Amino acid sequence: MKDNYRNFIPIWLIVAMLLPGAVLAVEPVPVLARLSLVGAEVLWMERNRELKLARGAVEGAEADKIGAAQRPNPSLSTQVGAISRNPGIGAGGLRDKMMDTTIGVSQLIERGDKREHRMRGAQSLLDATRQDLSDTLRSQRMALHQAYYDLVLAQEKSRILEESAALYRKSVEASQIRHRAGDIPLSELSRIRVEALRAENEARQAVNDLARAQLSLAYLIGQEAVAGSIRAVDGWMPVTDTAAGIALDIDHRPDVRAALNRVQAAEAARDLASSLKTRDVTVGLSFEHNPSGSTWANNSVGVSASVPLFVNYGYEGEIRRAEANLQVARDQLEQVRAMAWADVARARSDLEAAAQRSKRYEEDLLAEAERAARAAEFAYKQGALGLMDLLDARRTYKATQIDAVTASADYAKALASLRAATQENLQ
């Protein structure tokens, strides 16, 4: 028994050592249960998968830059010749064998600034990859903000529809009492029951929508395992005239900068392709040992030089391909600029429309719908209003509440889109 106990202890020690890593995989539930937008951004910066992939691409481009800066390595060659079957290679040491031995070293010397063109192209691609990382930060931050306010919206919808379902449950209980007392007919009780069942279905669907919103946000912050515990605590953003003073300097957007860097990389690749027409030179130094003859004749030193002869092909294909790639890069730059302009214009238009819609609900529509619903409830209790009018007032108030929170969510998401489109740090 004691031996089993001794064997059991190391297992638990190993488990205890592994547990901290497992615990660190997710945030404590209390943190996620009261998650602010700032807290979500902290988790997003640490655990977002798209950001990790973009950072990995930057590391790869940095490695490419190191490789592009290197000169060609020299080559070492050895050759054995003049070997005859009769009389063979002879006796004695290696130096006395009846064969010629040659050892040589050759070095390719690049001409036409090929190394400089490679380095320039690699640097431009590295800059483009870094801008891609910035663009990923831009777009993923927008996605994070939108997912956060989608969660706030789902929470508000779930609350509104649950309150509506609870109100109908109370109405069914009260109507059953009134029906037993003979105050209302069975048909009126049935209508209220039907509306109550509809309200229950809507509340259940809202719970499903809430779970989907939690999963969407959880993916962005790397917390899928505990998505059901995420609750957003920030409220709606106040509606302000934030779009008026925004400068439309799209050339500072990272996607535009990345496209410009790729044009520069394509120019370097074009220059590198053109430099292929400049002949590289391969120089060599060799040492030859021949066992026959006098002592001085046994050893000899030679030098060599070689250049390619462009008699069959002059790299016309590589040059044309590089020129075509350069034109494509320039066209893509113009495309990205046009898309950036459209992105900014669309985001500004969406923000202005969402701001106006949210203000109307906040200042007028929601209050009017609430007053109408309260008046209808009071009139129905006094017998001055029919059931259908009461149900219509309830539906209108519920729909207005949902439209109001949807308008607030649209404004918050439109503001996030405009911030991403313009790279502005709006407050």
Q: For 388-425, what is each residue's pLDDT tens digit?
A: 888 888 899 999 999 999 999 999 999 999 989 987 54
Give bridge partners of residue 103 from the DSSP assignment: 78, 287
Average confidence (pLDDT) over 293-298: 54
Maximum distance among all Cα pairs of the chain, rounded to whole angstroms = 137
- Count the residues in the chain: 427
Average confidence (pLDDT) over 193-209: 94
Supply the pLDDT for residue 138.
Answer: 94
Asked if 402 contacts 157 with a C-beta cutoff of 8 angstroms, the reply is yes
Distance separating alpha carbons of residues 71 and 424, to the nearest angstrom:
44
Average confidence (pLDDT) over 242-264: 83
Phi, psi angle pair for 112, to nearest 5°:
80, 20
Supply the pLDDT for residue 100.
Answer: 74
> How many helices (H) and strands (E) are present in the chain, helices listed first?
10, 4
Neighbours of 325 (CB within 10 A): 17
Instruction: Pick the most confident of 15-24, 66-75, 98-107, 384-393.
Output: 66-75
- Cis peptide leading into residue 87 (ω within 30°): yes
pTM: 0.81
Asked if 104 contacts 288 with a C-beta cutoff of 8 angstroms, the reply is no
Cβ-based neighbours of 93, under 8 Å, separated by 6 or more: none
Supply the pLDDT for residue 230.
Answer: 95
Helix (H, G, I), strand (E, B) or coil at 107: strand
Supply the pLDDT for residue 88.
Answer: 54
Supply the pLDDT for residue 23.
Answer: 40
Which has the closest alpha carbon to 278: 89, 71, 114?
114
Which has the closest alpha carbon to 414: 146, 173, 156?
146
Is residue 26 very low, low, confident or very high in pLDDT (cuts 50, 70, 90)? Answer: low
Distance separating alpha carbons of residues 237 and 260, to the nearest angstrom:
36
Is residue 177 very low, low, confident or very high in pLDDT (cuts 50, 70, 90)? Answer: confident
Residue found under tokens 């490679």: 118
**Inter-CA distances, 223 with 23, 148, 152, 201, Å:** 12, 14, 17, 29
Give bridge partners of residue 80 from the DSSP assignment: 101
Helix (H, G, I), strand (E, B) or coil at 305: strand
Instruction: Pick the most confident of 265-269, 288-292, 369-373.
Output: 265-269
- Evaluate if residue 123 carries a pLDDT over 50: yes
- Evaluate if residue 4 carries a pLDDT over 90: no
Which pair of structure tokens corresponds to residue 398? 């519920």
- Evaluate if residue 19 carries a pLDDT over 60: no
Supply the pLDDT for residue 10.
Answer: 44
- Evaluate if residue 209 carries a pLDDT over 90: yes
Question: Higher confidence at residue 257 or residue 388?
Answer: 257
Supply the pLDDT for residue 82.
Answer: 59
Distance separating alpha carbons of residues 40 and 152, to the nearest angstrom:
13
Is residue 124 very low, low, confident or very high in pLDDT (cuts 50, 70, 90)? Answer: very high
The proportion of the chain whose per-residue pLDDT surpasses 70, expressed as a percent, equals 84
Which pair of structure tokens corresponds to residue 9? 């202890």
Supply the pLDDT for residue 250.
Answer: 85
Which pair of structure tokens corresponds to residue 71? 């000169």
Supply the pLDDT for residue 1.
Answer: 43
- The string of pLDDT tens digits covering residues 151-168 is 999 999 999 999 999 988
- Evaluate if residue 145 carries a pLDDT over 70: yes
Which pair of structure tokens corresponds to residue 15? 């488990």
In order of their start, the domains of the chain are: 26-71+111-277+316-422 (1.20.1600.10), 74-109+279-313 (2.20.200)
Which of the residue ranges 46-50, 250-254, 280-284 would you say has the lowest mean pLDDT? 250-254
Q: Beta 100-109 vs 75-81: how paired, if at all?
A: antiparallel
Burial (0-12, 13-18, 19+ Cβ within 10 Å), 215: middle
- Supply the DSSP symbol for 363: I
Which of the residue ranges 181-190, 220-229, 277-286, 322-331 would you say has the lowest mean pLDDT? 181-190
Supply the pLDDT for residue 417.
Answer: 93
- Evaluate if residue 245 carries a pLDDT over 60: no
Which of the residue ranges 4-8, 248-252, 378-382 would you say has the lowest mean pLDDT? 4-8
Supply the pLDDT for residue 377.
Answer: 84
Is residue 55 very low, low, confident or very high in pLDDT (cuts 50, 70, 90)? Answer: very high
Supply the pLDDT for residue 246.
Answer: 60
> What b-and-e string marks burial along 121-150, b requiring 16 or more CB atoms within 10 Å of the CB?
bbbbbbbbbbbbbbbbbbebbbbbbbbbbb
Supply the pLDDT for residue 189.
Answer: 86
Which of the residue ranges 34-48, 190-204, 267-281, 289-303 would you say has the lowest mean pLDDT? 289-303
Q: What value does the mean pLDDT of the chain take?
A: 86
